Amino acid sequence: MKNEGLIYRISGPVVTAIDMKAAMYDVVRVGTEGLMGEVIELHGDKAVIQVYEDTSGIRPGEIVVNTGETLSVSLGPGLLTQIYDGIQRPLPTLEKEMGVFLTRGVDADAFDLEKNWTFEPQVSVGDTVVGGQVVGHVQETDTIVHKIMVVPGMGGVVKSIESGDFNVTQTICTFEDGTDMQMMQKWPVRTPRPYLQKYPPVIPLITGMRILDFLFPLAKGGAAGIPGPFGSGKTVTQQSLAKYSDAQLVVYIGCGERGNEMTEVLDEFPHLIDPNTGKPLMERTVMIANTSNMPVAAREASVYTGITIAEYYRDMGYDVALMADSTSRWAEAMREISSRLEEMPGEEGYPAYLSTRIAEFYERAGRVETLNGEDGSITVIGAVSPPGGDISEPVSQGTLRIVKVFWGLDAGLARQRHFPAINWLNSYSLYPQSLDQWFRDNIAQDFPEIRVELSGLLQIESELQEIVQLVGSDALPADQQLTLEVARMIREYFLQQNGFHEVDAYCDIHLQYKMAKAILAFQESAKSAMASGAQLGDVVNVPSRSHLMRGRLNKGYIDTIDDMVKIMLTEIAATVEGN
Amino acid sequence: MTGKEYRTITDVKGPLVFLNKTEPVAFGEIVSLRLSNGTIKNGQVLDTSDDMVIVQVFEGTAKIDREAGVTFMGDVFKLPVSEDLIGRILDGAGKPRDGGPDIVAEQYDDIIGAAINPYSRRSPHDFIQTGISAIDCCTSLVRGQKLPIFSASGLPHNDIALQIARQAKLTGSDEEFIVVFCAMGITAEEYNFFRADLERTGALEKAVLFVNLADDPAVERIITPRLALTAAEYLAFEKDYHVLVIYTDMTNYCDALRQIGAAREEVPGRRGYPGYMYTDLAMLYERAGLVKGKKGSITQFPILTMPGDDITHPIPDLSGYITEGQIVISRELHQQGIYPPINVLPSLSRLMGSCIGEKTTREDHKSVSDQMYAAYAQGRELRGLVAIVGEDALNERDKQLLEFSGVFEDKFLRQSRDENRSIEETLDLCWTLMSRIDTKYLVRLDQKWIDKYHPDNRK
Ligand SMILES: Nc1ncnc2c1ncn2[C@@H]1O[C@H](COP(=O)(O)OP(=O)(O)OP(=O)(O)O)[C@@H](O)[C@H]1O
Ligand SMILES: [Mg+2]
């Protein structure tokens, strides 16, 4: 058989070809317009292909050409600040070629192949280098040094090495065995890039969101799932993480969601400053946008495109955070393709391999020793959109089985405009144990104990609330009423955080600690004042407490909070004398 | 181009016709079927191979037999478009229904529509004043937004949609909207109601109507909204109009989708609806917005009736996952005799933040809206408590909030069908109503706005 065949059948995004030599995951060109597709099933003499562009108008009998390649991404300097579709075509290039509407049949290089980058060699002639090893540096953006690595599996004794300005396709290094390398390399998206070993996650990804960092921390190299019904805050949370988390690089995948949300990111990010480096956020970001109305097969591919790019920067020794919004749309793309293949469906029509694919995807997260001997990590945060908000469905369940952090968004809280609407009673993180040492060493010795106190108070509150529902809060003894007040302070002052507020959207982890301590200081002083005869109403209503609480909305709070707490404690102590 | 006529039908099932041994037929190609009695029906290719072709027939398969002649038209479905569309009434397949001539085409546009490149969009930010306080204050609408009305049978969603269509305008601008109206499976009575109202206000002359009624073929409903949106895109992005697309009832559309899925023996998703319904709906809802380099815009108002008033039903659920918020109509408020019975609590406009404030509405808008919402939410919750413990058990604050929730419904929500309140009037009304609550309980209001707008300080 030859590398060319004919279309036999077309059913939506799935095309069957006959008389063509094909192997699984080969990239093919379909029809006279040469639409890109990928072989996903072999069936006797037929190859089943998922096509990454709209197939209407294509006819049986048109030509199919097998390129013999597997679906790959291009990796090299120029990736950062880009916005791609699901198969790594830059959207700005597509706009230039097609106008504002995405038509089809246009190929586009992933980045500028002509642009010159200044290559600084890190190895010398005669050195032996192996796959994954760094041979030179390129300053890709102000903040990111792009390390040029030997393709895993390649390498040899350096015969010559260049220095100076080159584009990504020019040879910068040759080896004694006659092979050579360029700054750009390709990697098949469905194959995880290799590393030496996985490390246990012991460093937190600091997000600047109090409920996350304090109560349900995520580790660098960990994985988190955010399930929630529509309008509960998945996207706002993911975008906050993309803006403020202390990852060095962010890969943001808009997978089957709204066009306007990607526009928002594109409008906003170039003007936003990374609080961790002081540089524009865009410089550390790669975006993938395959919105809900773009071809589903490319949506299926988009998460692989994203994670492969993330792995590439991990291999340079960076901490990468990857957000996928929403993994449910990815799963639905799998379901749609699977049903066209007439595969035997599993639960709710999803393919039987759904949970395997989900697990394989999250397994590509991790903190690793790279082939170059450095530390790098990928933290994956996946949004899940369960039908009707009910997480007993297959995508939520498949996700929860593998991730160690569950940030459960709650329609009720969103309706009360309590944001972030993360339910503090049913969310969890399995990382505190491995992260506590880091918090003790870097933030405060008693950090873990403070966390336990706060979550304990919230737990007690939920039990007391049940009683209040029956008898009203006035029927409770004064000390329990105080507990309710303290818990309310935790919710309104600490947990609530408006993702759009210019100051409070991001909260420094040291400030978080001070705020938590302030709440406990309030509790303690209120208790002792009341023990000495002060009235609950007086204690709770000291004006300095509301000053303290509102202070978080002002810049420089970290410098003023200690004094504000002092004033509050003095005022509370004074309520005793007033009686 | 018209090709050969085939008589190779093997099976007819639901809305689908199966035939074999044809020329190479394109995926999505338009098909014409000629019945033995001379009737012509239209359809579209859903699956094509060397051996077999599956055609979805828009007008239903009644009377089709194995003798019917099938012709492939050589192209995908296209709508003839030009500015002549304005003022016309077309049927659910795009043919004149008003007795007028065929549309003289300036061009023919593919009705599936290409996706807008996300990079080529412009963020919507122009506030649309609807004159309805609940919407303007609490779920502000933005030009280019897709904001569905989640309603249920027997509720006045049509009145609300029409009131919006009549009153919608940009503040401080005389740019007008033209309405593209798309009916899917609604009753003749409902349709006449829409038509009469558009006629009465003169809007009909500036509107395009696509009409598929309850007794029209169900499968045709799959293409009706696509025709409407194709017309809307042409008018907005080729001719610079600001287009308001109202389509009703999405529930009938989804049911048609389910019918086709069932006939193809697809594995169904939740409640029998196809697994790809999310994607399918997105291909409609995402055809809204603004794009770079074009003046016009498309704002969408899909109306859907929630089966069993259930917001977790797949139709509202999948819609909510795609649209930029929702306006929820409440049966309870309707039964209390309140019009418009909008429940602001589950309603949301996700783009609101981008369109309100000093430059567009008023500096206190956000603060007022947050406070109105919070006070009403708390008041409503207290109603439940009062039912158990009695009103006497409430403290002063709770009593005021409880009373406020009633006033909110009676004075703020309630307005007449032709009452067009400016945003200033709406916000002033909010202040008047909120002043019934002690200022110290109005914790969401900024002090500077209290100083400036509170009735006590204004006199
Ligand atoms: N942290 C937050 N701070 C302030 N507002 C928020 C926050 N999170 C959510 N919201 C509000 O809730 C709305 C919906 O949030 P978001 O778009 O993130 O929901 P979602 O879960 O992604 O919904 P969908 O599944 O439909 O995409 C936002 O437009 C905003 O008004
Ligand atoms: Mg979202």
Across residues A304-326, what is the average pLDDT? 97
CA B156 to chain centre: 15
Across residues B270-292, what is the average pLDDT? 93
Domain boundary among A18, A45, A70: A70
- Nearest partner of B215 among B241, B237, B244, B184, judged by Cα: B184
Residue A310: helix, strand or coil by DSSP?
Answer: helix
Q: Residue A553: count other Cβ atoms within 10 Å of its Cβ.
A: 12
> Is the pLDDT confidence value at B459 over 80?
no
The predicted pLDDT at position B74 comes to: 86
The predicted pLDDT at position A267 comes to: 87
| Residue A156: domain span | 114-183
Residue owning tokens 């027997």: B154
Give the DSSP per-residue string, A143-183. S-EEEEEPPTT-EEEEEEE--EEE-TTSEEEEETTS-EEES
Identify the bridge partners of residue A40 per DSSP, sorted by sequence position: none
Examine the domain organization and report whether A310 and A225 are in the same domain. Answer: yes
Residue owning tokens 């299926």: A300
Q: Which ligand 1 atom lies nearest to the CA of residue A236? A: 18
Examine the domain organization and report whether A176 and A212 are in the same domain. Answer: no
The nearest CA of chain A is from the CA of B202 a distance in Å of: 33
> Is the pLDDT confidence value at B395 over 90?
no
The predicted pLDDT at position B124 comes to: 93
Is B346 close to A415, i.e. CB distance below 8 A?
Answer: yes
Question: Which stretches of A6-152 are DSSP H helices?
Answer: 91-98
> Which chain B residues have a beta carbon less than 8 Å from that of A61?
24, 50
Domain boundary among A395, A428, A461: A428
A124: phi then psi, degrees, rounded to nearest 5: -120, 165
Give the C-alpha separation, B203 to B182, whole Å.
15
Closest residue in B to A333 (Cα–Cα): B276
Identify the bridge partners of residue B11 per DSSP, sorted by sequence position: B18
CA of B299 to the centre of ligand 1 (A): 21
Residue-wise pLDDT tens digits, A143-160: 899 999 999 999 999 999
The predicted pLDDT at position A561 comes to: 96
CATH code of A55's domain:
2.40.30.20
Q: What is the DSSP letter of B103?
A: P
Computed over every residue of chain B, the mean pLDDT equals 92
Ligand 1 site-directed mutation target among A211, A236, A244, most atoms within 8 Å of CB: A236
Residue owning tokens 């106008």: A99
Residue to mutate among A8, A103, A260, with most B CBs inside 10 A, is A260
CA angle A438, A444, A445 (to 5 degrees): 85
- Nearest partner of B372 among B350, B342, B392, judged by Cα: B342
ipTM for the predicted complex: 0.92
Give the C-alpha separation, A530 to A538, whole Å.
10
In a domain, A419, yes or no: yes
Is B282 close to A91, i.e. CB distance below 8 A?
Answer: no
Which residues have CB under 8 Å from A114's CB, separation 6+? A167
CATH code of A342's domain:
3.40.50.300
In a domain, A348, yes or no: yes
A228 in contact with ligand 1, CB cutoff 6 A: yes
Examine the domain organization and report whether A498 and A542 are in the same domain. Answer: yes
Residue-wise pLDDT tens digits, A55-106: 988 999 999 999 999 999 999 999 999 999 999 999 999 999 999 999 888 8
Give the C-alpha separation, A349 to A342, whole Å.
11
A387 in contact with ligand 1, CB cutoff 6 A: no
In a domain, A466, yes or no: yes
Residue-wise pLDDT tens digits, A246-305: 999 999 999 999 999 999 888 888 888 888 888 888 999 999 999 999 999 999 999 999
The predicted pLDDT at position A578 comes to: 60
Which residues have CB under 8 Å from A401's CB, separation 6+? A355, A359
Going by alpha carbons, the residue nearest to atom 29 of ligand 1 is B350
- Nearest partner of A362 among A407, A304, A312, judged by Cα: A304
Helix, strand, coil distribution of chain B in percent, nearest 5: 40, 25, 35
Examine the domain organization and report whether A9 and A54 are in the same domain. Answer: yes
CATH code of A120's domain:
2.40.50.100
> Which chain B residues have a beta carbon less than 8 Å from that of A55?
27-28
Question: Sorting pLDDT into bands at 50, 70 and 90, what band is B331?
Answer: very high
C-alpha atoms less than 13 angstroms from C-alpha of A473 in its C-beta half-sphere: 17
> Which chain B residues have a beta carbon less than 8 Å from that of A102?
114-117
Residue-wise pLDDT tens digits, B126-138: 999 999 999 999 9
Q: Which amino acid is at B316?
A: P
> Is the pLDDT confidence value at A417 over 70?
yes
Examine the domain organization and report whether A289 and A365 are in the same domain. Answer: yes
The nearest CA of chain B is from the CA of A35 a distance in Å of: 14
Examine the domain organization and report whether A129 and A222 are in the same domain. Answer: no
The nearest CA of chain B is from the CA of A439 a distance in Å of: 35
Closest residue in A to B351 (Cα–Cα): A260
CA B132 to chain centre: 17
A269 in contact with ligand 1, CB cutoff 6 A: no
A227 in contact with ligand 1, CB cutoff 6 A: no
Domain boundary among A397, A428, A459: A428
CA of A205 to the centre of ligand 1 (A): 22
Query: What is the side-by-side strand order in the sheet with A128-130?
Result: A128-130, A155-161, A171-175, A180-182
Across residues A467-495, what is the average pLDDT? 89
Longest dimension (CA), chain A: 97
Give the C-alpha separation, A48 to A66, whole Å.
12
Examine the domain organization and report whether A142 and A209 are in the same domain. Answer: no
- A94, A263, A339: residue with CB nearest B123: A263
The angle, 0 to 180 degrees and rounded to 10, between the axes of the packed helices A447-471 and A478-489 is: 120
CATH code of A452's domain:
1.10.1140.10
Residue to mutate among B16, B23, B30, B121, with most A CBs inside 10 A, is B121
- Nearest partner of A289 among A312, A264, A259, judged by Cα: A259
Q: Which of A334-343, A379-388, A449-458, B332-341 has the lowest mean pLDDT?
A: A334-343
Residue-wise pLDDT tens digits, B349-379: 999 988 999 988 999 999 999 999 999 999 9
- What the block records as the tokens of B359 is 């430059």
> Which chain A residues have a beta carbon less than 8 Å from that of B237?
100
The nearest CA of chain A is from the CA of B121 a distance in Å of: 6
Which residues have CB under 8 Å from B368's CB, separation 6+? B137, B427, B430, B431, B434, B445, B449, B453
C-alpha atoms less than 13 angstroms from C-alpha of A457 in its C-beta half-sphere: 25
The nearest CA of chain B is from the CA of A473 a distance in Å of: 10
Relative to beta strand A155-161, strand A171-175 is antiparallel
Residue-wise pLDDT tens digits, B98-116: 999 999 999 999 998 899 9
The predicted pLDDT at position A579 comes to: 57
In a domain, A85, yes or no: no
Is A95 close to B120, i.e. CB distance below 8 A?
Answer: yes
- A10, A58, A92: residue with CB nearest B119: A92
Examine the domain organization and report whether A164 and A279 are in the same domain. Answer: no
Examine the domain organization and report whether A376 and A236 are in the same domain. Answer: yes
Question: What is the percent of chain B where pLDDT is above 90?
Answer: 73
* Conformation bin of residue B415: beta by default, left when phi > 0, alpha when psi is -120 to 50: beta
Q: Are B75 and B30 in contact (CB under 8 A)?
A: yes
In a domain, A94, yes or no: no
Residue to mutate among B18, B25, B75, B120, with most A CBs inside 10 A, is B120
Give the C-alpha separation, B435 to B445, whole Å.
12
Q: Which ligand is nearest to the CA of B322?
A: 1
Examine the domain organization and report whether A421 and A334 are in the same domain. Answer: yes
Q: Which of A170-179, A419-428, B350-359 has the lowest mean pLDDT?
A: B350-359
pTM for this structure? 0.94
Across residues A326-347, what is the average pLDDT? 90
In a domain, A361, yes or no: yes
- List strand residue ranges (DSSP E) for A2-82, in order: 4-11, 14-18, 26-30, 35-43, 46-51, 63-70, 72-75
Q: Are B164 and B202 in contact (CB under 8 A)?
A: no
Examine the domain organization and report whether A422 and A509 are in the same domain. Answer: no
Residue-wise pLDDT tens digits, B178-233: 999 999 999 999 999 999 999 998 888 999 999 999 999 888 999 999 999 999 99
Give the C-alpha separation, A111 to A433, whole Å.
42
In a domain, A80, yes or no: no
Question: Which stretches of A271-385 are DSSP H helices?
Answer: 296-315, 327-340, 354-363
- Nearest partner of A347 among A382, A313, A397, judged by Cα: A397
Is B48 close to A9, i.e. CB distance below 8 A?
Answer: yes
> Which chain A residues have a beta carbon less than 8 Å from that of B268?
349
Report cis status (omega within 30 of 0) of the bond before B123.
Answer: no
B107 touching A (Cβ < 8 Å): no
Give the C-alpha separation, A190 to A193, whole Å.
9
- Looking at the structure of chain A, the number of domains it has is 4
Residue-wise pLDDT tens digits, A496-531: 999 998 899 999 999 999 999 999 999 999 999 999
CA angle B421, B427, B430 (to 5 degrees): 105
Instruction: Report long-range pairs for A346-351 (Cβ below 8 Å, ≥24 apart).
Output: A346/A394, A347/A394, A348/A393, A348/A394, A348/B269, A348/B270, A349/B267, A349/B268, A349/B269, A349/B275, A350/A394, A350/A395
Ligand 1 site-directed mutation target among B123, B138, B350, B354, most atoms within 8 Å of CB: B350
Between chain A and chain B, how many beta carbons pairs sit less than 8 Å apart? 191
Examine the domain organization and report whether A174 and A207 are in the same domain. Answer: no
CA of A325 to the centre of ligand 2 (A): 7
- What the block records as the tokens of B78 is 């296209």
The predicted pLDDT at position B1 comes to: 45
> Is the pLDDT confidence value at B305 over 60?
yes
> Which chain A residues have a beta carbon less than 8 Å from that of B283?
292-293
Computed over every residue of chain A, the mean pLDDT equals 93
Residue B161: helix, strand or coil by DSSP?
Answer: helix
Is B276 close to A98, i.e. CB distance below 8 A?
Answer: no
Q: For chain A, positions 111-130, list CB contacts with chain B under 8 A.
A: none
- A62, A103, A415: residue with CB nearest B114: A103
In a domain, A75, yes or no: no
